[in-house]
């Protein structure tokens, strides 16, 4: 168990000598991502305010960076990288499928209700 860790991240681009070293490496990476998010969140560059597939580019960047962070927390801190494929897929794909489904339904419905309000059929119904 103690020697079963896979020590490469970024698809083998970076290879660490020990598990401890990998942990610190991942911490540095996650900190950099958080710093980028905070700086973008404070300054909100005008160039990233344009819309891309219905959402600001800035928000796409935030969501993608969050998913990257989530990946490294799960894969390296929770050692998902070292689990067998079956367990990994059972956990990850189940969650991802159900969450995407839920998000789609609720956001679609929220957007629909907003369109009802803004097109003036109902002023305020509660």
Partner 1 sequence: MSNTVVATEIEGKAWGGGNEPLKASYGKMMMWFFIVSDALTFSGFLAAYGFSRFKFIDYWPIADEVFTHVPFLHGQELPMIYVAFMTFILIMSSVTMVLAVDAGHHLNKAKVTLYMFLTIIGGLIFVGSQAWEWATFIKGDFGAVQTKGGNILQFVDTEGHRVALRDFVVAEHGERTQHERKNGIWFVSEGTLPTYTVEEVVNGLEAHDNILVRTQLLDENGEKTVLSRAESLKQLKNNGTHVVEGANLHENEYGSPLFADFFFFITGFHGFHVFSGVVINIIIFFNVILGTYEKRKNYEMVEKVGLYWHFVDLVWVFVFTFFYLV
Which of 61, 65, 56, 55 lies closest to 32, judged by CA?
65
Query: Alpha helices, DSSP H only, in the chain?
Result: 19-43, 57-72, 85-118
Nearer to partner 1, 11 or 85 (CB): 85
For residues 109 and 106, give the distance between their C-alpha atoms in angstroms, rounded to a whole number: 5
Please identify which residue in 41, 51, 52, 122 interacts with partner 1, judged by CB under 8 A.
41
Burial class (CB in 10 A: 0-12, 13-18, 19+), 22: buried
Please identify which residue in 14, 38, 45, 51 interacts with partner 1, judged by CB under 8 A.
38
Task: List contacts with partner 1 (CB under 8 A).
Answer: 1-2, 19-20, 23-24, 27, 30-31, 34-35, 37-38, 41-42, 49, 59, 62-63, 65-66, 69-70, 73-74, 76-79, 83-84, 86-87, 90-91, 94-95, 98-99, 102-103, 106-107, 109-111, 113-114, 117-118, 124
């Amino acid at each position: 168990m103690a020697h079963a860790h896979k020590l490469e991240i970024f698809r083998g681009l970076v290879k660490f000598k020990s598990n401890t070293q990998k942990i610190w490496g991942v911490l540095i990476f996650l900190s950099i991502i958080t710093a980028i998010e905070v700086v973008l969140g404070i300054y909100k560059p005008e160039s990233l305010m344009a819309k891309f597939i219905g959402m600001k580019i800035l928000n796409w960047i935030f969501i993608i960076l969050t998913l990257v962070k989530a990946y490294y927390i799960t894969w390296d801190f929770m050692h998902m990288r070292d689990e067998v494929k079956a367990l990994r897929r059972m956990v990850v794909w189940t969650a991802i499928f159900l969450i995407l489904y839920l998000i789609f339904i609720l956001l679609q419905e929220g957007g629909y209700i907003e369109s009802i309000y803004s097109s003036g059929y109902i002023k305020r119904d509660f």
